[in-house]
Structure 1
Amino acid sequence: MHRGLIMLKKNILLSILILITTGIFAQNSFIDKPVAIVKLTKTDVISQKKLAYSVSLYEKQAGRALSMLEKEQVLQTLINQMLVYQAADRDNVTVTDEQVLLAGMNQMMKQTGRQLTEVQFKQIIKDQSGMDYETYAQTVRDQLILEKYVTEKKRDFLRSSSIPSTSEVELFYRQNEEKFLNPEMVKFSHIFFATRGISAEDKNAKREEANRVYQAILKGTSKFEEMVREHSDDKGSVVRDGDIGNFIDRSEQNVSIFGRDFLNSVFDLEVGKMSNVLESAQGFHIVIVNQHHQKRFLDLDDPVTPVETTTVRQYISNIISYQKQQKAFQEAAETVVKELAENADIQTFQENIN
């Protein structure tokens, strides 16, 4: 099947966006001829225009013209798809409108890296491609039906092929051991006095407030937790007595948020000891470090991070499982198409491929 169905599993939305801009169907400079006729349950024709439409997609992605052999591979992919569509229709394999919408939105959110509402998603489809949602949805629906049909027909094979062995997990770990490293991290509670976007006069007032709070705690007239509730501008951590809720490392991202001097001061603190008033890029802080983890290489049964329950072993197992699922799906798809083709009447017209 060459790349067959699997070629369609990648970059679904990108393929659609490229496809819609080619304008191939608007070209009427030649008489449309069949390049293939496929009959499993009904007769479907793959025309020159349809092949050219698909070829243009791959050429856009490759950034070059396809060879004749590659065009024949694209044609084989279209034949394979048509066989599965006819079989799925025969066997009443369908997907709902909701499944189509969720699949499309998930794909778009992965590409944009942000959460989207249904309205935002459909607007992006329209703005980036000029495509109406119904046209886009039909393309996604076809892809989902392909995947669902193969999965249903080869469910046992796919399930049995995706479980990694202990030796596979251990080999992956040995080959990537240096990547399983937790950096030095701290987790702290703070009383926060925000200063971003305020005047110099107001900033000085915040500094004086922070110093008064610090002295009150130092003298024992007030407790740290009480001052969090009364003075901290970090409302998200107030309910946790100032605990910021996550671990902080010395990454460039955190440096840009807090400033390097602030981070260095926090990392230098002893666990359980209160800092004096520290200044960050966000404001003033009185800090107590709750946990301090030194940089260390992780063993297979260590948590991936201090705040997660997933172990390195489980993390690796998930990676291998996904890789095996992809490979197994390709094998299953090839088997399904081969079985369908044996009971189908397929004619190709090589002379019409151009």
Structure 2
Amino acid sequence: MKRYLISFFMVIVLSAGAFAQTTLQPIAEVKLTARAPITLGQLKTRVSALEKELGRKMTVEERKQTLDGLINEKLIVQAAEKDGIKIMDSEVNNYFNEYVSSQLRRQVTETDFAQLIKENTNMSLDEYMKAQNGMTLAEFKNFLRTQLTAQAYVMQKKQKELQSIASPSDDQIRSYYEVNKQSFVQPDIVQLFLVVAPKENKAGAAKKTIEDIQKKLTANIKATTEIRTKSQEKNSAYQAGELFVSKTELAAEQLGMPMEELLKIFKMKTGEVSPVIETGANYQCFVVLEKKDAKILGLSDVVEPGGNISLYEYIKKMVIMQRQNEALNNALVSVTNDLRKAENFKILQTGADFDKTLSW
């Protein structure tokens, strides 16, 4: 079964910043296999992240529930370690790549992501991660390891239930589409033939390469076939291929350009060749191959231009994923209830004193 996020955990956690003496104060303790304190600082970190997501300050009762969540998290991780569950570094790295790719909506590796961050922000990946969520790359990966460990434990304990999830019927898929049809809108799309020559240590040569290709395309748009073939040769000085671009703010962000610049591309005519474009890392040019108007997708339409997954299959997979997530969360509750015994944890404050501690 594909791994899915357990909603009990948060992927992004903010750092607590400078620690006051009180942040080191233990307010709870987990002791399933070893004594592990939960400090006020750890709770403040989680509450801070949740409050940012909610857009408001949490109540004392909500903060108590958040502390319960931290206790449950540590109980499950200790139980997983007791059962010998160990997550390899390669699994964490792959999961990180999947996470980043899902955010960018295209497949990238950690190296690709680091290069993209460098080009757009002039920051290292470590600096960027710290600025975005208060954790270094190593700290963030350690958090992912905790997620994967807990998830593996739940799936091991509830394997039978999680493997018996039924696929939606044809009628259910079609009913889902009819109810949510207005959500399946494909925006205006332009298909480009993009040619990119990396600068590396040869900026002058890269510029000359793209200038020559731009002239060739301007003279004959059918030269795309030859240009694509040569880009696949060993030691080619450039890369070339098709690219589908949506008329959306997200697409502009992913391309690293203002929305105004993206709109200029959509105003170009089919067959029109761009001028030579310089970025921090390369020179490039493109040809507009095709333009498609926005529309509501039918069940037989492909979800992504140039892809091969129909909306019908997409909905089927989405419903299965929803059912899996629901089953996984139900399994999480069941496993947590089994572990949450008085001898396995302790909250160190009660009553008015506890409420006062949580009223920062």
- Shorter-chain TM-score range: 0.5 to 0.7
TM-score by length of 2: 0.62
In structure 2, the CA distance between the partners of 1:113 and 1:166, relative to structure 1 (3 Å rule), is closer
Question: Quick check: 2:129–2:137 contact (8 Å CA) kept in 1?
Answer: no
Which of 149, 154, 159 pairs up with 2:153? 149
In structure 2, the CA distance between the partners of 1:158 and 1:257, relative to structure 1 (3 Å rule), is same
The CA deviation string for residues 117-152 of structure 1, in whole angstroms up to 9 with x for no partner, is 089389323344175544333222112111111122
The CA deviation string for residues 321-344 of structure 1, in whole angstroms up to 9 with x for no partner, is 222222222111101101222585
Question: Quick check: 1:41–1:90 contact (8 Å CA) kept in 2?
Answer: yes
In structure 2, the CA distance between the partners of 1:171 and 1:42, relative to structure 1 (3 Å rule), is same
1:5-154 mapped onto 2 (5 Å cutoff) = 6-8=7-9, 10=10, 12=11, 14-15=12-13, 18-19=14-15, 21-23=16-18, 26-29=19-22, 32=25, 34-111=26-103, 115=108, 116-117=110-111, 120=114, 123-129=124-130, 131-154=135-158
The CA deviation string for residues 212-237 of structure 1, in whole angstroms up to 9 with x for no partner, is x7xxxxxxxxxxxxx946xx697127
Aligned counterparts of 1:82 and 1:175: Cα–Cα separation in 2:
40
Aligned equivalent of 2:350? 350
Deviates more, 1:292-301 or 1:147-156: 292-301
The CA deviation string for residues 298-320 of structure 1, in whole angstroms up to 9 with x for no partner, is 55345546854322221111121
Deviates more, 1:123-132 or 1:320-329: 123-132
Structure 2: stretches of 5+ with no match in the other structure: 1-5, 116-122, 194-206, 232-239, 252-261, 277-285
Which structure would you say has the larger Rg?
1
Aligned equivalent of 2:338? 339
1:1-354 mapped onto 2 (5 Å cutoff) = 6-8=7-9, 10=10, 12=11, 14-15=12-13, 18-19=14-15, 21-23=16-18, 26-29=19-22, 32=25, 34-111=26-103, 115=108, 116-117=110-111, 120=114, 123-129=124-130, 131-161=135-165, 163-178=167-182, 210=219, 228=222, 235-236=227-228, 256-257=264-265, 259-260=267-268, 262-263=269-270, 279-282=272-275, 299-301=298-300, 303-304=302-303, 307-342=306-341, 344-348=343-347, 349-351=349-351, 353=354, 354=357
Q: Which amino acid aligns with 2:127?
A: K
Counting aligned pairs with the same residue, the percent is 24
Give the drift of 1:87.
0.7
The CA deviation string for residues 27-78 of structure 1, in whole angstroms up to 9 with x for no partner, is 115882x433333233333233433333233234434332111111111101
TM-score by length of 1: 0.63
Deviates more, 1:88-97 or 1:116-125: 116-125
Question: Quick check: 1:169–1:313 contact (8 Å CA) kept in 2?
Answer: yes
Q: Which amino acid aligns with 1:331?
A: N
Question: Quick check: 2:23–2:42 contact (8 Å CA) kept in 1?
Answer: no
The CA deviation string for residues 191-247 of structure 1, in whole angstroms up to 9 with x for no partner, is xxxxxx99xxx99xx69x94xx7xxxxxxxxxxxxx946xx69712789xxxx9869
The CA deviation string for residues 83-124 of structure 1, in whole angstroms up to 9 with x for no partner, is 101111110111011222222343334445673408938932
Aligned counterparts of 2:112 and 2:244: Cα–Cα separation in 1:
34
RMSD: 4.7
SS at match of 1:161: coil
Question: Quick check: 1:162–1:328 contact (8 Å CA) kept in 2?
Answer: no
Aligned counterparts of 1:313 and 1:180: Cα–Cα separation in 2:
11
Aligned counterparts of 1:168 and 1:140: Cα–Cα separation in 2:
34
Question: Quick check: 1:105–1:118 contact (8 Å CA) kept in 2?
Answer: no
Question: Quick check: 1:187–1:246 contact (8 Å CA) kept in 2?
Answer: yes
Aligned counterparts of 1:167 and 1:148: Cα–Cα separation in 2:
33
Aligned counterparts of 1:163 and 1:47: Cα–Cα separation in 2:
43
Aligned counterparts of 1:125 and 1:111: Cα–Cα separation in 2:
17
Q: Which amino acid aligns with 1:6?
A: S
In structure 2, the CA distance between the partners of 1:303 and 1:149, relative to structure 1 (3 Å rule), is same
SS at match of 1:35: strand
Aligned equivalent of 1:194? none
Give the drift of 1:347.
2.7
Deviates more, 1:319-328 or 1:248-257: 248-257
Question: Quick check: 1:258–1:280 contact (8 Å CA) kept in 2?
Answer: no
Aligned counterparts of 1:133 and 1:250: Cα–Cα separation in 2:
31
Aligned counterparts of 2:263 and 2:310: Cα–Cα separation in 1:
28
Q: Which amino acid aligns with 2:68?
A: Q
Structure 1: stretches of 5+ with no match in the other structure: 190-196, 214-226, 267-278
In structure 2, the CA distance between the partners of 1:74 and 1:93, relative to structure 1 (3 Å rule), is same
